[in-house]
Structures are given as structure tokens and as C-alpha cells.
Structure 1
Amino acid sequence: MSLHLPTLFLLNVYVLTLLGCLMLHVWWRSDGESTLGCSAGTLLLAGLGVLVVGLRGRGMDTLSIMLGHMLLQLASGLGWATMRVFVGRRLWWPGIAGGALLWALLCQWPYFMSTVSLRLTVATLLTILYTLLTAGELWGARRLLEVAIGPVLALLLAHALFCSGLLLLSGRHDIDWIWGGLDDGFLTWRLLEAFLFIIGMAFATLAMVRERAELRYRAVAYRDPLTDIGNRRAFTAGSEALLVRCAAEGRPATLLLCDLDHFKRLNDTHGHAMGDAALIAFGRLLALGIRQQDICGRIGGEEFACLLPGADEMAALQVAERIRRACSELLLGTEVRVSVSIGIASTAQAGYELSRLLALGDQALYRAKAKGRNRVERFTD
């Protein structure tokens, strides 16, 4: 296969610069997502480095060898930094610039400047090092990341293996002749693979950032901003899925419907800030008072709900009483106390339909209010 090397250089410069500008635009529109900023810098530096390297043979050999490869190594370091930022780590500038600085130092050695094979070996080894460091950042944080990192790891591994293979093959031959103009030599294949790798990494990085942003937006959409527990949408979606599983497994489930007593009076007497404090305190109490497999959420102004899978009425009654007592012990400010009324309904009465459970739980809650509040009532026919 024969490829025209100057055309490949120009294609690299054009596409990398275009992608870098587009990534820069996306970074600007994303309110400064650091990962996209680092990725844009990687693409632009790589495009500039390829352009400078392509000047070799046009009377600027020293500039091409020294500055061009320094820019490429700096791009590799910034590519590593992109994944460091993505996983939540700080930029480490000595490591980012280390490859470029090492190249600059080696260029002061006459033998290094006069030996093509040595320069290519060093450049390839640095590329492999930065590639493995980049993969290590993602692999080390894989348990904390909620996005798919498989495509990026596959790209990085393939890139490292390709560079290692070329390095092993070049060790068997004298590769100084590649600067003589052969289009199908080591440099051509190295340039083509690096071109495809950087494009793939740009799109894969953008996909990871977008996926994480969507997950964050979804989490915000399903959280109550005041109490930081699930909102009505989250409770409904989670409870319906949980009831389907309980029905399939033949397990019971019980609903607790909670309503803070005299909440309007609390707001009118002590102000909305105190009312918000009561909601926050009760939401925290509720989240800490249930099991990990249970679902709770704020479904109205001062109304909260909990679904307890695998719990019958008696077990749910104990949980509800514990929550009620803990609420009555809450002290807001220096003298304000709150209480809660709780209605209980189970799948033994309502079946596995959430709307029916909520309706029966509401009837039980109304009975608790009617009997004086600060109490727990079960639904009875």
C-alpha cells in the first residue's frame, strides 16, 4: 500500500486543527468542562506539531526535529492530563511537560540529532509511556466512574500495541532510510495510525463527557433540591420497578406515607426558613431510618413516602414508630419541635399497584390526622 506522505501530513494538520477548534467550541458552550478544554489543547498541539515536523527537508531540519516533536510530546502529555481531569485528579504539569523537556535535552546531544533510528525509538517509547499512563488513570478510577470506559481503554491499548509492534519491527532493520522519501515506510504508517487514534480518542472522550453530563442531569432531575432525597418522579419510578420485582418474587411490600403535622402553622409562626429546616431534618432522618433496599422520597410539600420491599405490616409498623419517635425528638433552633403522622398500606390490601397503595396510605394518613396527629395508623377496610 502506497500513501503520499505530504498529503498525509496536510490531512493530519487540517483534521486535527478542525477537531481542536470544534472541541474548543464545545468546551466554551459547556461552561468550561475541563476535560473538553484539555482535549481541545491536545488536538491543537498535535496539529501544530505535525505541521512543524512536516517542514523537515525544507531548510528547517533542526526546528522540525526539536520543536515539532516537543509539541507532539506535549500533546501526548496533555492527552494524559485529559483523563486525569476526567477522573477528578489535578493537572500535574511536570508530568505533562516531562516528555517535551526530555526531548529538548536530548536534542542538545549531537549523536541523538544525527541518528534517525534513535530519535524514532525515543519518540515511540515516550508515546507508549503516555498512552499507558492515560489508560492507567481510567483503569484506576473504573469503580468510581459511571460511564462506559471500554472504548477508550480499547483505543489506548491498541495504540500502545501498535507502537510497540513498530518498535520491535524497526529493531530488525536500519530505518534511517525512511527520511529518504519512501511513502510506505515507518513514518507513514506511524502518522496514519496516530491520526486515526487521535480522532477516535476525541470522539470517545466527547462521548464519555456527554454520558456523564446526562447522568448528572438525570440525577438532578430525580433529586429534591431542598432535602436532597428523591423527588416524586424518582419515588414513582423506583417504586413501580420495585413493586414489579416484588410481585414476580411473591414478596410483600408496604408503603409509609408521612406528613409533617401543622406545617402551615410552623411556616406562619416561625417563617419559611424554619419550615425548610424542618423538611431538611425530616428528609435526613427518613433517609437514615430505612434500609438500603428501601425507597423514600418527598412527594409533596410536607409529604414524604417510603416503600419497604419484603416488609409486612407489622415490620413496617415498627419502622414507622421508630421514625415517628425520632421526629418528635427533633429540635429546630432552641425551642421548635415537629411531629409527623404516618399512614401504612401494604400489598396484601392494595396489590402491587403504586397508585392503589398511595390511595390506601392516604386514607390511613387521614385517620392518623383525625385521631390527633403524631401517630401511626394502618389502613383497615
Structure 2
Amino acid sequence: MLMLQLHLPTLLVASTAVISLCGVLLIFSWSQGRQQRALLWTGAMMLLAALGLVLNALRGGSFDWVPIVLGNIVLLLCIAMTWSVMRVFCGRAPSYPWVCAGAACWALLCLWPTFYASLAARVAVHTLIASLYLLAALVELWRARLRLEVSVVPMAVLVSLHLIFLLARMFLGPGMTGYGDIQSNPLFTLVLIESMLYAVGIAFMLLSMVKERAEKQFRQAAYSDELTGVGNRRAFFEAGERLLSLCQRQRRPVALLSFDLDHFKAINDELGHQEGDRVLKAFASGVAQSLRRSDVFGRIGGEEFACLIDGNATDALALAERIRVGFSALAPKGREQSVSIGLVAVEWGTYDLQYLLNLADKALYQAKRDGRNRVEIYQSDAGGSVGGAEVG
């Protein structure tokens, strides 16, 4: 068999070199920006794994306690750090006492002569502790899967496969009395190969997840308004065109609301830009809480916002009134704040988003002329004028 033909010392050297290289490269990647701490943790984990392999290779002679005690303590710390890597990547702090708990248990058990003398017992306990840490890592990924901005499935599959291989070590224990029995077992060679592949795999997966997260954060920054956190003009038009196209295909009504905060320039001039920023953020937050997930909302200008909804004029008018009244209610004591809203609703057709926004703006300008703090619905007559105001 190929397994039996592999030279075990050479395989150990190759595994140590590959795992060490992965660790160094991950730490180097972290050092470039020092923002992704998961890279640092994973790099340190790899270097610990390499040290553990070296210590475990020091078998034979009068210093067997070095690989049995110290070597396995280092390897258990390494596996515990897999759990910490997942916690750090998911935005949680590592639990140092629990990271050290497995290694501490191993050190205490090694003080028991019966356990220290039994290779099968050591393999079983080591596998059990390592498996618990890997299960904790999988639980961490599962708990954070919905709030993470990256896909965790490939990493979860990789950790699961490593867990299966660790559990396969349980079959090494029965009937073995010495390290030579392990070396002669083909499964041990397979476990070594798998450990090397796992190190490469987890390094690649983590770098991929970090890259995916960074790309999504850059994309979010490009499509969101920095002050209010809602979509910017670009995001509004791209998402709005998709919603408009969907409603046109399904012949569903749509409505567009155009918002302009009243007397915003006066707020900035008299109370300062900090108060102006507060007003903008309060309005954006209030509107966002009033919308459905399918609605499209964005800041398209200084104090100008727009919203496209899948609904008819009645739905849009009710929403506009809720927003108008709710925003006025958010004003600090002793101050007034209001918003004028222009609204256009169409049953269905081949309108484009810019055209609907122009119509809503016409209604908005009429609301401004008629006294502000009101909702105006666009209605065209033969001359294309605006009428039919709904006053708050």
C-alpha cells in the first residue's frame, strides 16, 4: 500500500514545514493592516501546531514526558485556538480560561500513572478534548451564520471533516501499547497527511472569508450614505430599478415618495451642522423603521430622500402620513422639525425611475409652495399641472 511506503520522519518534516509556512504567511497577512485579528490567531495556531509536531516527534529515550505531556499540551492549545479563531472572526472575544482548560486537564491526567502508562487511554482522551473544541467552533459558526456577512459553509465543512478524522484516531488506541504501534498503523500516516491538508485548507478558507468580508464592506461603503447609514443615490437607483422592473413584469402598482426636510438650511445656519446631522439621522432612522424589507429608501441629496414601494396610492399616502407625523414627534422639546413629501403612484407601465422621481419632485415643490409639512400627491391634468394636495 502507498500508505506503508511513505517515510514517516520525512512526512513529519514536510508537515511541520508546511504548517509553519502557513502560520508565518497568515501572521504576515495580519500585519499588513492589523485589522483582521482572526488571521493573527490562526497564524499563532499554525505555529503552535508545528511546535507540537516537533515535540511529539521526540519519542524514545528517557524524555518521553516531553512529547507525552508538553507536546500534547501544545497540540490541545492549538486545537482550542480553532474555537478562538471562529469566535474572533464572528466578533466575539476569545475565552482564555476555556482555551487553557483542555490543556490543564491533560496535564493533570498525566500525573495519574495509570493514564500516563496507557497509550490507548491517552489517544482516547486527547481525541475527546480536541473533538469538544472543534464542536464548539462549529457551534460558533452556526450561531453567527445569519449575522455574518460571509458564507461560513465551506469553513464549517472543513472543520467537520477534520473532526471526523480526529474521531478516526479512536480506532488507533485499542490493542496498542507503544509509539511503535502507532507508527506502523497506516491510519496514523493518513492522519498526518490530513493534518497538513487541514492547515492549508483552513488558511485558504480564512483568507477567503476575510477577503469576502472586506469586499462586502467596501461595496457597502460605496452604496451607503456615510452619515445616515441608508442607501445613497447610487444604491437607491440600482435597487429601485430592480423593484420597478419586477412590478412592471408582474403588473403591480408602485409608488414613489420624495422627501425634503423643511427649513434645513436654517437649522444648519442657526444651530450648527451637528444639529443638522442629528436631524438627518433621526429622519433616516425613523423612515427605515417604517418600511418593509422590500421597500427601497435612500438619501439622494443633502436633505433630500426618496422611497419606492410596491403598493398603490392609498398605501403610499398612509406611509407618507406616518413618516410626516412621526418625524415631527421626534423634535427635541422647544423645537420644531417637519418634512414635505411629494408622492406619485402608478398602476403599472413602462415608466423609468428617474421619470417617477421627477413627477414626485413636482408634487414636493407644490407641497413647499403650499406651506410645507404636508403630503402632496401628483395628479396631472391636460396641462400637466399638479393638484390634489393632502395636507397634514
Distance 1:148 1:340 in 2: 40
The reply to whether residue 249 of structure 1 matches residue 253 of structure 2 is no
Change (3 A) 1:281 1:84: closer
Matches of residues 1-381 of structure 1 in structure 2 within 5 Å?
Answer: 1=2, 2-57=5-60, 60-168=63-171, 170-171=173-174, 174-176=175-177, 178-179=179-180, 182=183, 185-309=186-310, 311-332=311-332, 334-348=333-347, 351-379=350-378, 380=380, 381=384
Change (3 A) 1:289 1:128: closer
Distance 1:341 1:23 in 2: 54
Distance 1:133 1:294 in 2: 38
Distance 2:343 2:350 in 1: 14
Higher mean Cα deviation, 179-188 or 105-114?
179-188
Say what the alpha-carbon RMSD is for the aligned residues.
2.5
Distance 2:300 2:258 in 1: 10
Distance 1:281 1:136 in 2: 37
| Cα deviation code 1:201-259 (max 9, x no counterpart) | 22222222332333333333333222232222222222111112111211111100111
Amino acid at match of 2:287: L
Amino acid at match of 1:282: F
Structure 2: segments with no counterpart, 5+ residues: 385-392
Q: TM-score with structure 1 length normalisation?
A: 0.89
Amino acid at match of 2:233: R
Which secondary structure does the structure 2 equivalent of 1:326 belong to? Answer: helix
Distance 2:183 2:278 in 1: 75
Count residues in correspondence.
377
Change (3 A) 1:348 1:170: same
| Cα deviation code 1:109-168 (max 9, x no counterpart) | 334444333333332232222222222222233333342222222222222222323423
CA contact (8 A) 2:251 2:348 kept: no
| Cα deviation code 1:65-88 (max 9, x no counterpart) | 221111111101111111122233
Amino acid at match of 1:250: R
Change (3 A) 1:163 1:275: closer
CA contact (8 A) 1:175 1:186 kept: no
CA contact (8 A) 1:258 1:303 kept: yes
Distance 2:286 2:121 in 1: 66
Distance 2:123 2:288 in 1: 59
Identity of aligned residues (%): 42
Change (3 A) 1:316 1:181: closer
